[in-house]
Amino acid sequence: MKINRFKTGAFTLIEMILAMGVAALVLTVAGSVLFAALHLRDATQAAVDSATPVDQALAVMRRDLECAVTPTNGTSKVLSGDFRVGTLTSPGIRQPVAVEMYTATGALRDTAPWGDIQKVTYELRDPTDRNEPGKDLFRSVTRNLMATTAVPDVEDQWMLRGVQSVEFSCFDGSQWSDTWDTTGLTSVNTNLPTAVRVRIQLAGSNPATTPPIEMLVPIDSQSRTNLN
């Protein structure tokens, strides 16, 4: 008697177990890679979100400093204004300011009767949310420099939160100074500094281990007269 043996296409139990084990291993590895990718994306997004306000604040500061106009030096020349650094008081601002400058970064508007020279100050203020660490950095702008009112109209612009300190230092060509005043009231500065260094220490960071955010801005605009 001749017996025909046919091969079937079914898997054995051992083959099924091995296949399920391999599939489970592949799914586990794929899940781990996906979880790591999502975690990296969240960490990157958080780093970008935290750095964006700092970068924007530094960019605005750099623009203001680079466009600072030269002081009057007792003359009647136009497109000029004083430059002061230190712990200052500025009209229309209740808090002490760290810097006060006149800069050509304003914008002409059809509804505004002033030009593009504006007075800008930077100062720290207590946050509205008392639970937040540090203070808020503000940029205050006075555009109508020809106003006759006793209290000028100041526009406050929020720049950065969680700031422990902000410092402006001026370089006169030979040394750095934490104060500068071209008004002639407190010092003998008669011109703009040749460079300004900005240091921002964020709240919650240890200055001994975490250096402050630092920016160095050269000042190209200098006043020249027949006397120098």
pLDDT digits over 30-64, tens only? Answer: 888 887 877 777 666 655 555 578 888 999 999 99
Domain assignment of residue 137, yes or no? yes
Chain mean pLDDT for the chain: 80
Domain assignment of residue 198, yes or no? yes
Domain assignment of residue 188, yes or no? yes
Domain assignment of residue 93, yes or no? yes
Burial class of residue 154 (count of CB atoms within 10 Å of its CB; 0-12, 13-18, 19+):
middle
Total count of domains within the chain: 1
Burial class of residue 69 (count of CB atoms within 10 Å of its CB; 0-12, 13-18, 19+):
buried
Distance from C-alpha of 52 to C-alpha of 186, rounded to nearest angstrom? 37
**Residue 227: what pLDDT?**
46
pLDDT at 134 over 80: yes
Domain assignment of residue 161, yes or no? yes
